[in-house]
Each structure stands twice: as structure tokens, then as C-alpha cells.
Amino acid sequence: MIAITANFWRNKRVLITGHTGFKGGWLTIWLNRLGAHVTGLSLAPHTQPSLFESANIAELCDSHIADITQPEVCRNIVQSCQPDIVIHLAAQALVRSSYQDPLATYATNVMGTANMLEAIRFQASTKVALMITTDKVYANQEWCWPYRETDPLGGHDPYSASKAACEIVIQSYRDAFFAKAGIALASARAGNVIGGGDWSKDRLIPDAIRAWQQSESLSIRHPDAIRPWQHVLEPLAGYLSLIELLWREPHRAGAYNFGPDAADATSVRDVIVQAMRFCDGAKTEFASSDTLGPHEAGALRLDVSLARSGLGVFPRWSLAQSLEATMAWYQQFAGAGDARALCIANINAFEASQ
């Protein structure tokens, strides 16, 4: 992997939207360690506990609790912090929640992204903007082949559709405005992430942790669904590497997949069976894939050739290593471990691995 260089990030002004969320919290901790000046824009944490509060992330950045669906909020924050780099993570990020409130999902994901792009295009200081979407932006064919960045966009559920729409908005802003202004605008499509500090509802590992720590049986809705699982530090490292490249070579802006090798995409059942090894007494009930909950994609794999050949980004941790680090994080946190220190220990180990 291309080295992430502290010299590059030192004193850079970085705006992170979604800094109160799972990935945003980890990213804020990492960029603070690299010497960046981070401004955060996000809604208040939506889980209890949350990584944002447990790790005191507000101490590591200029934190603003506000709503990106309000254009003036985005404009005012961008104007006040004058970011060199913008990393847009803020989103309604749950598939099942998108079925329950599709309009809020579209408002946050599509118009929130457009609001941020509109604010950035009038900010002369910004050189790179990276918009994070998802691996679910592709028109899913339920086939065995991994999806490439050039494959058609689509989305059965409102979450996936909203993120596919984001990709079209991003491409439009890049072509119509940002390329002429010299701003490198890219999007990142990452696979399913795991790691300590995620307490979101209807996510596999957080649901498992809640059940097993209460000596309850975990119920799995779609055990045979295949996803490109990876530790949260894997895509974050990819994002940082991409931003460094785009700073030097803005013409490389575009869409990039980040995930494990396609052959390493694994079923929900296999992930849980491996995770149970790290938790004594863990119990799980595997339901029929066709009986519970709204539609979700059955198979999803990503082709990460572009990230490898263009950025030199290769996975550092196997799924087994990722699960071991994740389960240890939760266990140590439950034993009164310091959340920020646990994250930093993971970052140190990840940086040291090759």
C-alpha cells in the first residue's frame, strides 16, 4: 500500500461530515494523530453508547452538530473552516431504516450531498473532495462476478438507490464545475466494514455484540448473503491514500472501489461462525434467507483492481484478523477499556502491518 504520510497531513485543514458516526469517528482519531486540523459537521450521535462520546472525539476537532440537509449550514461551515480537503461521510446509512423512512433517506443522502458539493464549489481553498457512497450503488444482478466502477448504477432499496443517485450528482458536479475549478472530486465505494465502536442497529457485528453480551441468542435474517467484509481501517486507509494521490494528480479523480479480494467476500453465516470463536457461550439462530425482513441483495462482490493498480492499495488484515481485532475491542471496552486508546492501538497495529 502507498504509505500514508504524516508530512502530507500535518496542518492540513480537513472537513469531515459524519464525524459523530462510526467511520467518521475512527477517521477523526487517525487524522488527529497525523497532525491535521479537523472540523466536523454532523448530526448528534444516534446510538447509545457511541464512539463519538466514548472516545471524546469532540476534543480532537472543531465539532459542529448540525444538519446537512440545510444548505446554509453546509455553506457557513465550509466558509468558516476553509478546508483544504473535504471528506463527506454523513449519511443515512442503514438499509432497513431506508424502508421505514425513504424520504428522509433521500433528503440526507442525495440533497445533503448536493448541498455539500454546492458549498465546496464556491470555496477557493479546497483542492480535494472525497464523497463516500457505498458498495451497494450497483444494479445488483445477483451474479458471481465482482462489480467494477464502470458497471451500471442502481438500487432496489431506498438506501442503495439514494447512494446511486449520489454518484450521478457527484459526476455531474465534477464534469460541470469542479474540473474547471481545479478541484479533484472523487467518490469511494467501500464494502461492509467492521470494527470496534459501532453500535448501530441492524448491523451484523453490533447486533451480535448486544445479544451475546446479554447472554441472548443472535437471530440472523439472511445467513447466506455474501458481502465484501473488511476492517474499518482498510477503507479509511484507502481514502487517505486516494486523497494524497489526487492532491498531486487531480486528473485521476473518479469513482474507486475499496474492499477485500473478490475471492474473500464471505457469507454472513461464515462471519458469525468465526466471530463466535472469540466469545464464550455465544449462541446464534440462522433463519431461512427468504423468510425475514425486506429485500436485501443476496450476493455482492467488488472488483478492486483500480485501487490496486492506481493507488497501490492492498488489504492488510484478513477477515480473521479483522474479526479478532473487532471482538477484542468490544471485550476490552466492556471491561472498562478506554475507547480512544483502543482505537489508537488498532491504528498502530494496522500501520505496522504489511
* pLDDT number for residue 292: 58
* pLDDT number for residue 116: 98
Residue 354 lies in a domain: no
**Vertex 33, ends 32 and 38: CA angle to 5°?**
10
Residue 178 lies in a domain: yes
Q: Among all chains, which residue has been given the C-alpha cell 449520489? A: 166
For 294, other C-beta atoms within 10 Å of its C-beta total 12
Number of H helices and E strands in the chain, helices first, is: 15, 13
* pLDDT number for residue 342: 98
Closest by CA to 77, choosing from 90, 87, 63, is 63
For 2, other C-beta atoms within 10 Å of its C-beta total 16
Give me the count of residues in the chain. 354
* pLDDT number for residue 296: 74
Supply the CATH number for residue 288's domain: 3.40.50.720
Residue 3 lies in a domain: no
Residue 99 lies in a domain: yes
* pLDDT number for residue 294: 73
* pLDDT number for residue 290: 53
- Longest CA span, the chain: 59
Residue 49 lies in a domain: yes
Residue 1 lies in a domain: no
* pLDDT number for residue 2: 56
Low-confidence stretches of the chain (pLDDT < 70) are: 1-3, 289-293, 295, 354
Amino acid symbol at 94: L
Closest by CA to 16, choosing from 132, 98, 157, 105, is 132
Q: For residue range 279-327, what is the model confidence (pLDDT) as tens digits?
A: 999 999 998 755 556 767 778 999 999 999 999 999 999 999 999 999 9
Task: Give me the helices (H) in 140-183, please.
Answer: 158-173, 179-181
* pLDDT number for residue 254: 98
Residue 234 lies in a domain: yes
* pLDDT number for residue 142: 87
Quote the domain boundaries for residue 182.
Answer: 9-349
Number of domains in the chain: 1
Residue 4 lies in a domain: no
